[in-house]
């Protein structure tokens, strides 16, 4: 009896310790949540490789035959209202041609022959955390005329709406990384809907536009994450090149060299590069981007990517 209670207490403690630690993507490399063997320097989260093949006899929300493609996104958000009255706040969308799409490996691929395929997509997860880091990241991106997606968590946005505003005003493309940074794939449809929908709402409230990109925490969104992302008109992605910055510690030496090597070791056309809002990543970014440019890569504008995977 006493034993059982102790065990239960322990389990509860452990559980709360885990869920409380939603700061970084620490598990992305391969602790608790990562299925299969993930310790190695690879990138692609296994969840999806395996996950795409009709997993567990469909839990609840039956994946309508054609998966996410069936759900028409876009217009859905605007509830009724008038037809041809574009809200004046709409910044006359500086037409950015849709030149790229994302393939099943979450790589960026040109739609047509002749479009530069030696591109990479830059992404930073788990912010917004600090104005100083955000400004430094944006300074470096500006220097290289690069755009990036910042996948934010709702609980952080709620704590610091001004940081989301800063990111947006400085030209960062905001992505949805769920509210609490939890593993979504085993959660109920309703819960996932809330985790994702609440972020859409708060970002829209602050910046005027809801995110067009979704990345599940720990790369583990499952079918339910994919479905809800599609229902919200977002492109679902994990990544294809991990910088492994989430495994680094302040005391580690030569972090810039390590980060650059981690990326260049896996580098390929269309690389979808996962980084985080972390001090050493901020510091390494200029060297990384210079290195990538030196290898002939340029940085894809996320807004030139179609919002439907193919
Ligand atoms: Zn994350």
* Ligand 1 centroid – CA 12 distance (Å): 23
Asked if the structure places residue 65 within a domain, the reply is no
| Within-domain flag for 302 | yes
Between the alpha carbon of residue 277 and those of residues 81, 117, 121, 152, 274, the distances in Å are 39, 27, 16, 10, 10
Residue 22 CA to ligand 1 center (angstroms) comes to 8
Catalytic residues: 125, 276
DSSP sequence for 40-84? SS--S-HHHHHHTS--TT--SS---TTGGGGS--GGGGS-S--SS
Task: Tell how far the Cα of 88 is from the centroid of ligand 1, in angstroms.
Answer: 34
Query: How far apart are the CA of 80 and the centre of ligand 1, in A?
Result: 35
The answer for 50, left when phi > 0, alpha when psi is -120 to 50, beta otherwise, is alpha
Q: What is the CATH number of the domain that holds 250?
A: 3.20.20.370
Report in angstroms the alpha-carbon separations of 200 from 94, 154, 210, 217, 237: 22, 9, 5, 15, 16
Q: What is the DSSP letter of 4?
A: H
Both tokens of 197, joined, read 């929908």
Q: Which of 265, 223, 276 is nearest to 60 (CA)?
A: 223
Domain membership of residue 209 (yes or no) is yes
Residue 50: predicted pLDDT: 37
Q: Residue 156: name the closest of 129, 134, 178, 174 by CA.
A: 129
| Domain-embedded: residue 43 | no
Distance 278 CA to ligand 1 centre (A): 12
Q: Any residues with CB less than 8 A from the CB of 306 and at least 6 apart, and which?
A: 98, 100, 101, 102, 111, 235
Determine whether 263 is exposed, middle or buried from the number of CB atoms within 10 Å of its CB (0-12, 13-18, 19+).
buried
Token pair 């960026």: residue: 108
- Residues 116 and 108 sit within 8 Å (Cβ to Cβ): no
Distance of CA 234 to the CA centre of its chain: 11
The answer as to whether 275 is a domain residue is yes
Residue 137 domain boundaries: 120-310
Does residue 41 sit within a domain? no
How far apart CA 200 and CA 280 sit, in angstroms, is: 29
SS3 275: strand
pLDDT tens for the chain, 310 residues long, are 444 444 544 444 444 433 333 333 443 433 333 333 333 344 555 444 433 333 333 333 333 333 333 333 333 334 444 444 445 555 555 689 999 999 999 999 999 999 999 999 999 999 999 999 999 999 999 999 999 999 999 999 999 999 999 999 999 999 999 999 999 999 999 999 999 999 999 999 999 999 999 999 999 999 999 999 999 999 999 999 999 999 999 999 999 999 999 999 999 999 999 999 999 999 999 999 999 999 999 999 999 999 988 8
Would you state the pLDDT for residue 141? 98
Q: Does residue 9 belong to any structural domain of this protein?
A: no
Distance 44 CA to ligand 1 centre (A): 14
DSSP 26: G
Structural contact between residues 151 and 301, judged by C-beta atoms closer than 8 angstroms: no
Does 89 reside within a domain?
no
Give bridge partners of residue 108 from the DSSP assignment. 102
Side-chain-side CA neighbours of residue 68 (13 Å): 23
β-pairing verdict for 173-176 and 119-127: unpaired
Total domain count, the chain: 1
């Amino acid at each position: 009896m006493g034993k059982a209670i102790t065990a239960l207490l322990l389990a509860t403690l452990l559980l709360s310790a885990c869920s409380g630690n939603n700061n970084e993507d620490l598990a992305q490399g391969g602790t608790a949540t990562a299925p299969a063997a993930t310790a190695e320097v690879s990138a692609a989260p296994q969840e999806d490789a395996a996950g795409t093949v009709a997993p567990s006899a469909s839990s609840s929300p039956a994946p309508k035959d054609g998966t996410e493609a069936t759900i028409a996104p876009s217009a859905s958000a605007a509830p009724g209202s008038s037809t041809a009255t574009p809200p004046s706040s709409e910044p006359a969308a500086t037409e950015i041609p849709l030149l790229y799409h994302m393939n099943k490996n979450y790589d960026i691929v040109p739609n047509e022959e002749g479009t530069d395929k030696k591109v990479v997509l830059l992404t930073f997860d788990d912010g917004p955390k600090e104005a100083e880091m955000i400004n430094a990241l944006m300074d470096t991106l500006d220097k290289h005329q690069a755009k990036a997606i910042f996948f934010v968590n709702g609980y952080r946005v709620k704590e610091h709406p001004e940081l989301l505003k800063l990111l947006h005003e400085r030209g960062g493309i905001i992505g949805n990384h769920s509210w609490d940074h939890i593993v979504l794939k085993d959660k109920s449809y309703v819960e996932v809907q809330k985790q994702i929908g609440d972020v859409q709402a708060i970002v829209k409230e602050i910046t005027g536009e809801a995110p067009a990109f979704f990345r599940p925490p720990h790369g583990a969104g499952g079918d339910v994450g994919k479905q809800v992302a599609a229902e919200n008109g977002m492109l679902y992605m994990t990544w294809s090149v991990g910088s492994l910055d989430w495994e680094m510690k302040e005391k580690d030496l030569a972090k810039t060299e390590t980060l650059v090597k981690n990326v260049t070791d896996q580098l390929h056309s269309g690389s979808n590069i996962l980084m985080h809002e972390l001090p050493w990543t901020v510091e390494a970014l200029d060297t990384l981007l210079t290195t990538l440019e030196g290898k002939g890569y340029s940085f894809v504008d996320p807004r030139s990517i179609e919002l439907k995977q193919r």
